[in-house]
Amino acid sequence: MRVSEISRKTAETDIRLKLCLDGTGKSQIATGCGFLDHMLTLISRHARFDLEVFCEGDTYVDYHHTAEDIGIALGTAFNEAIGDKRGICRYGNMLLPMDESLILSAVDISGRAHLEYNLTLPQVKVGDFDTELVEEFFLGFVREAKITLHIKMLDGKNTHHIIEGAFKSVARSLRQAVAKDKDAENEIPSTKGVL
């Protein structure tokens, strides 16, 4: 089983996170931010990762540190759980409709951190969540997961639908990328021999 447990404590957040890449999509999420809880539950369900996240953060300021630091912790756990990447498919992509929105994501578990983020969000808030924090979450995740991730909005008007579509699309792309390649079970999927 590809599993990782992370504890990350700073002056701004105290996070406990457990990730199993070979799960069934079960989750227990309590971040102090309802919208972020919803998005993390979507990642778990659509990637079929088992995920537990508990965070106490300085939410009296705003949700910035909570969103960014959970992204960092999740990325760290992902990188640890994926190991040497032997036998994985490596790449994944998903074109996902969410009502009027249409989101494309593509991932390469490359060992190189890069994010291309192209979402146009009409509203600055969904509930009490600042929508600019979506990018902060994915930046934290990508840097520590050491993956290349592209997220592109092809259509959309409703901010909630666009963000939800992005999280679902990324989750589905990750699900494909971490899947075991039955034709190359003991191989590193790179001509370099390492990722």
Crossing angle for the helix pair 159-178 and 133-145, to the nearest 10 degrees: 10
- Model-level pTM? 0.97
Question: Would you state the pLDDT for residue 110?
Answer: 96
- Residue 170 lies inside a defined structural domain of this protein: yes
Question: Would you state the pLDDT for residue 190?
Answer: 87
- Tokens at 68, concatenated: 């960014």
Q: How many domains does the chain have?
A: 1
Q: State the residue range of the domain holding 140.
A: 3-178
Percent share of the chain, pLDDT over 70:
100
What CATH number did the domain enclosing 16 receive?
3.30.230.40
pLDDT digits (tens, 9 = 90+) for 14-67: 999 999 999 999 999 999 999 999 999 999 999 999 999 999 999 999 999 999
Q: For the chain, what percentages of helix, strand and coil (3-state, to nearest 5) are there?
A: 35, 30, 35
- Residue 155 lies inside a defined structural domain of this protein: yes
Question: Would you state the pLDDT for residue 41?
Answer: 98
- Residue 190 lies inside a defined structural domain of this protein: no
Q: Which stretches of the chain drop beneath a pLDDT of 70?
A: none
Helix (H) or strand (E) holding 166: helix 159-178
- Residue 100 lies inside a defined structural domain of this protein: yes
Burial degree of 53 (CB within 10 A; 0-12, 13-18, 19+): buried
- Residue 185 lies inside a defined structural domain of this protein: no
- Residue 184 lies inside a defined structural domain of this protein: no
- Residue 191 lies inside a defined structural domain of this protein: no
CA-based nearest residue to 37, from 55, 20, 22, 49: 55
- Residue 89 lies inside a defined structural domain of this protein: yes
